[in-house]
A and B are shown apart, each in its own frame.
Chain A
Amino acid sequence: MSQPSNVERDEQFLETPPLTEVKVPRRNYLNDGTTVRSWLLTLDHKRIAIMYLVLTMVGFLLGGVFALLIRIKLLTPGPWLFSANAYNRLFTMHGVVMIFLFLIPAIPGVFGNFLLPLMLGAKDVAFPKLNLFSVYLYLAGAALALWGLVHGGADTGWTFYTPYSTTTPAQVVPILLGAFILGFSSIVTGLNFIVTVHTMRAPGLTWFKLPLFVWGIYATAIIQVIATPVLGMVLLLVAVERSFGFGIFDPSRGGDPVLFEHLFWFYSHPAVYIMILPAMGVVSEVVACFSHNRPYGYKVIAYSSLGIAFIGFLGWGHHMFVSGESVFIAGAFSFLTMLVGVFSAAKTFSWVGTMYKGSVDFKTPFAYIVGFLFFFVFGGMTGVAVATLPLDVHWHDTYFIVAHFHFIMVGAAVMAYMAAVHYWFPLMFGKKYSERWGLSGAFFTFVGFVVTFFPQFLLGNEGMPRRYYQYPDHFQVLNVVSTVGSWILAMGVGVTLLTLIYALIAGEPAEKNSWGSRGFEWRADCPPITHNFDTQPVIGPHDGPYSYHLTHGTASEAKHGS
C-alpha cells in the first residue's frame, strides 16, 4: 500500500463527511461478538475499558454506601446505630474501597484504556494480553479485599499505621494482600500506557501534538510504575509482621513506626497525583472542546503534568509533621510541597485562559468542569495551606484534612470523572443522554458536595479529630449539616446514574462527533469499530488535537458553511 502523498492525505481528513441521516452505525466494537466469552477474553482495549467502567462504578457505589452510613452515625455525638468497632471498620473500608477500587483505577482504567489508542491513532494498546491481565488482577485484588471485609474487615484506617495494624485482632491481612494485588494491576496498566505512548503514535504525531489527556495519562503511568511497588512491599511487610512476627515496625524490638509512615506515604502521596493527573487531562480536553479553542498554554500544561509527576515524589513528609519527624526534615518537606502546588496553579490559570476568545457552550460536561475549577482551586490551596507548618500542627488529623482531600478527590477527581463520562458518552456508547437531566444531576451533586464538605473545614478549625465515633457535643450542628449534604450528594449521583442508564437503554443514537470536537478520538465512528480506524490516520503538518482555528469543522458547521 503506497504512502499517500502529503497533500492528498490532508484533503482526505479535512472534509468531514456531510451530515447524512443518522443510521445505526455498522458493526462496532459493542456488537462485534456478543457472547459472554467474547467479553471476558476480549483483547480490545475498548471492551476492557467498559469492563473497568462497570467494576469501578460498583466500587464507587459500595464506597458511597459506606460513606452514607458513616455520615448518618455522625448525626449524634453519642453511641448510636452501630458500635465503635463497626464504625472503625466502616471508615476503613470506605477509604480502601474508594481509593484502591475506584479513584486509582477509574480514569486511567476506563478512559485511559478507551481513548489512548484512539487519540494516538493506533489499533490497540501495546500489550493487549497484559491489559486483560490487569483487569483480572483487579478482580482478584477486589475479591480478596471484599472477602476480608465480609470476614470481619480491618479497623486500621486505609493508612494501616503500625503498631496498631500489626496488633489489632481484625482481619487485616486479606485486605493488605488485596491492596497488594490491586497495586500490581495498577503497575501493569501504567507500564502498558508508557509503552503505548512511546511506540504506537500515528505517523506525523509528534510529542507536542499529543492531546493533553495523553500527557496526563503518561505522567500518571510514570507514577504508577515507580511508586506502586514501594506500597506493595510495605503492605507485604505489615502482613509478614502480623503473620510471622518479623518485628520490622515493632517498637519494642527497635522497630520504628515513623519508618512505616515514611515508606507508606512515599507511595500514598504520589498516589493522590495518580488520582488527580488523569482528571486534569480530562479537564484540558473538555475545556478545549466546549470553548472551541486551543488550550491557553499547551506547553505549560504538558510540562506541568510531568512536573507534578516528578516533584510529587518529594513531598510525602507533610503527612508526618507532628508524628515525631525532625523539625529540619519537616521544614524540608514543607518547602518541597510548595513547589508541587505551583504546577497545579499554573494549569488552573491555563484552563481558565482557554475560554478567552473561544465560543463557550455550557453543556453538562462543561458544568462539571466549572464546578471542578472552584473545588480544585479551593481544595488545592487548602492543601498548600496545610503544608504550612504551624497551621498543620492545629489541622493535622482533624476534619480540616478530611475536607481538604475530599475537595480534591470528590470535588476535583470525581467531578472530572463525571465530566469525562458525559463528554465521551456518545463516543463510547453511540447514544445521547438527556441534557436537562444531566445538568440537574450536576446541580444536585454540586450543592450536595458543598453542603457536605464545607462544614467539615469549619469542624477541622474547631478541632474535631478524624475517625471519631463519638465526638464532643459542640461539634454536632456542623455534623448534622454535613450529613444532610451527603444525602443531597447521594441524590445528585443517583440522578446522574439514572440519566446515563436511561440513555444507554433508550437514548437515541448520537451522530458522529456531536460536540464538534477536533480531538483525534472523535475522528473514529461513534462508537468506533473494533480496530478503531478503517485507514491508518495520518496527522498532517498543521493538523493537531485542537485545530479549531482551521477551516474544517464539525458536521453541524458544514451545513452553515464556514
Chain B
Amino acid sequence: MNELLEGLGGALAPLDELMRKMLFLPERASTFAAEVDHLHYFIITLTMISSTGIFLGALLLYAKYRRRAGHRLAEAVHPPAWFEVSILVVPGIFFLLWFFMGFKGFVRMTTPPADAMDVYVMAKKWMWKFSYPDGPNSINVIRVPAHRPVRLLMTSRDVIHSFYVPELRVKEDVLPSRTTQLWFNATTPGRYEILCAEYCGTGHSTMRGVLDVMEPVEFDEWMQTQRMGLASRQDMGGPLNPDDESIGTLAQQGRKAAAELECFKCHSIDGSAHIGPTWLGLYHRNERLTDGREIFVDEAYLTRSMMDPMAEIVAGYAPVMPTFQGRMTAPQTAAIIEYIKSLQDDRIAQQKNPGPVYEPAFKR
C-alpha cells in the first residue's frame, strides 16, 4: 500500500493532504505515520462505501417494494446459495486482508531497531520525567533528534499511564514497577504535545508534556553542552532525590545512589576482588551461578539481583547481600544499572555503548 503510493509520486500528494484534512488527522511527524494514514484511508473509505451502500440499498428496496394499496401475498423467495455464501465470505476476505496489512505494520512499529537511542521515561501522577542515559533529566520536556530512531523505556511510579503523541501515531501504556518500550523515528522537527491516554485520576487531562524534535546537529550540540555543564558541576553531589530536578548524567546519579546505599562496601568498581562481584565489565558478561546455571548479565538480571539477591548468586561468592526491595526507588535502580553499564574497562569503553540487548518481538 505504502510503496504503491510512493510509486505514484507526487500525483496523489494533494489528494493525500485533502483526505488528511477531511479526516482531521494531525500532521505526520514520524516514519510510520504516513503508512498508518494510508491504511486508515483504505479502511475508512471502505467503511463509508459499505455503510452508505447498505443504507441506500435499504432505501432503494423500500422505494421499489413500497406497500401499495391493499395487500398482496409475498412470493416465497429463497436466497440463492451463492448469496448466503458470499455474504459470509466476502466480508471475511476484506477483514482478513485488513488484519494482514495491519499486523505487518504493527510488528515493525513495535520492534525497535538495535541502534535506537534510549531515553528513560518515568510517569508519575500527572507529570512526566525524562532522563537520558548519559545526559540530563528533565520534567515534562523531552528533546529527541529528528531522523534517528529513539527508544523510550517507560515505567510508572503509581498507576497505569499511557504515552501518546498524536502527530507521531505512537502510544504505549506505562505500567507501574515494570518497563514497557516504545520507539519512533521522528521526521519533522517541532514541538509536539505528549498526552496521557490511560485514565489516571484527577490530573489525567492536565498531564501533558512536550516532545521537542530537534535537528540532529542541533541535538548533538545541545547534548554536548548539557554534558559539559554536568562535568563542571561534577562534584556538587547532592543526595539523589528522584523528585527534585537533580543534575548529572544518569550514570553519575547511579554512582551517587550506589555510594548512598553503601554498595561500594561489597562491590569494587576497578576490577579488584571484593565481597561481591566487581562491577567493572560486569555488564554483558556470562556469569556462572552457584547452582551451575550460566546466565547473561543484562538489566533484568541486575534488577533481580538487587531485589532478591539470594536467588542467583555468582559462583564463589557468599550469600550475604541484603535485599533492596522497597528500599530503592525505580529511578535509583535505573540509575545504578546505568552506572554499572558505564563501568567498562578502557578496552571496552571506546566502542559505542551497544545499549541493552533487544529481543525481537517474538522471542521472549
Contacts and interface: CB of A to CB of B under 8 A. Distances in A.
A and B: bona fide binding partners: yes
Interface of A: 84-85, 88, 155-157, 161, 163-164, 167-168, 251-252, 257-258, 291-294, 296-297, 299-300, 322-324, 326-328, 330-331, 334-335, 338-339, 341-343, 345-346, 348-350, 352-353, 355-362, 370, 373-374, 377-378, 381-382, 384-385, 387-391, 393-394, 396-398, 458-459, 461-463, 465-472, 478, 516, 548-551, 553-554, 556-557, 560, 562
Contacts of A370: 55, 58-59, 62
B175 A472 contact: no
A360 B67 contact: yes
Given A257-B176, A342-B92, A388-B102, A357 B74 contact: yes
Contacts of A554: 71
Contacts of A326: 361
A257 to B, nearest CB: 6
A551 B73 contact: yes
A296 B171 CA distance: 44
Interface in B5-32: 23-26, 32
Closest 6 CB pairs of A and B: A463-B166, A389-B106, A345-B91, A388-B102, A349-B87, A338-B95
B36 A334 contact: no
B198 A397 contact: yes
A549 B87 contact: no
A381 B50 contact: yes
B44 A323 contact: no
19 contacts: A88-B204, A164-B201, A167-B159, A324-B173, A335-B103, A339-B92, A345-B91, A360-B66, A370-B62, A391-B40, A397-B198, A463-B26, A465-B195, A467-B204, A548-B73, A549-B76, A557-B70, A557-B71, A560-B70
A350 to B, nearest CB: 7
A341 B94 CA distance: 10
B65 A357 contact: yes
Given A161-B160, A390-B32, A361 B175 contact: no
B77 A293 contact: yes
B84 A300 contact: yes
Nearest to B90: A345
B61 A381 contact: no
B68 interface: yes
Interface in B233-273: none
A360 B201 contact: no
A390 B193 CA distance: 20
Interface residues of B, number: 90
B27 to A, nearest CB: 11
B23 A458 contact: yes
A164 B200 contact: yes
B169 A394 contact: yes
A377 B203 CA distance: 36
Max chain A C-beta neighbours (<10 A), residue from B71, B83, B84, B170:
B71
Contacts of A88: 199, 201-202, 204
Nearest to A340: B95
B91 A341 contact: yes
Contacts of A293: 74, 77
Contacts of A292: 67, 71, 74
Nearest to A377: B51
Contact of B205 (A257, A463, A468): A468
Contacts of B118: none
Contacts of A327: 106-107, 110-111, 361-362
Contacts of A391: 36, 39-40, 43, 102
A389 B23 contact: no
Interface of B: 23-26, 32, 35-36, 39-40, 43-44, 46-48, 50-52, 54-55, 57-59, 61-62, 65-68, 70-77, 79, 83-84, 87-88, 91-92, 95-96, 98-99, 101-103, 105-107, 109-111, 158-160, 162, 164, 166-167, 169-173, 175-178, 180, 193, 195-206, 208, 326, 361-362
Contacts of B72: 359
A251 B197 contact: no
Contact of A161 (B43, B170, B198): B198
Nearest to B172: A322
Contacts of A463: 26, 164, 166-167, 195
Max chain B C-beta neighbours (<10 A), residue from A252, A461, A549:
A461
Nearest to B109: A390
B71 A359 contact: yes
B50 to A, nearest CB: 6
A324 B205 contact: no
Given A161-B198, A356-B61, A373-B55, A338 B170 contact: no
A405 to B, nearest CB: 15
A218 to B, nearest CB: 20
A388 B87 contact: no
A465 B95 contact: no
Contacts of A548: 73-74
Given A168-B201, A251-B176, A556-B71, A461 B61 contact: no
A388 B274 CA distance: 55
Nearest to A378: B51
Contacts of B88: 300, 342-343, 345-346
B61 A324 contact: no
Contacts of A294: 74, 76-77
A323 B159 CA distance: 12
Contacts of A297: 79, 83-84, 87
A473 to B, nearest CB: 11
A355 B65 contact: yes
Max chain A C-beta neighbours (<10 A), residue from B48, B99, B105, B200:
B99
Nearest to B59: A370
A268 to B, nearest CB: 15
A302 B178 CA distance: 46
A318 to B, nearest CB: 11
A553 B176 contact: no
B170 to A, nearest CB: 7
A251 B177 contact: yes
Contacts of A251: 175-178
A359 B68 contact: yes
Contacts of A345: 87-88, 91
Max chain A C-beta neighbours (<10 A), residue from B65, B92, B196, B205:
B205
Contacts of B35: 390
Given A334-B103, A350-B79, A463-B195, 19 more contacts: A88-B199, A157-B199, A251-B176, A252-B326, A257-B176, A292-B71, A323-B198, A324-B173, A342-B88, A345-B88, A346-B88, A352-B58, A357-B77, A360-B62, A361-B67, A377-B55, A387-B99, A388-B98, A393-B169
B61 A346 contact: no
Contact of B65 (A85, A291, A461, A470): A291
Given A352-B54, A397-B162, A463-B166, A458 B71 contact: no
A562 B83 CA distance: 31
Contacts of B25: 461-462
A19 to B, nearest CB: 14
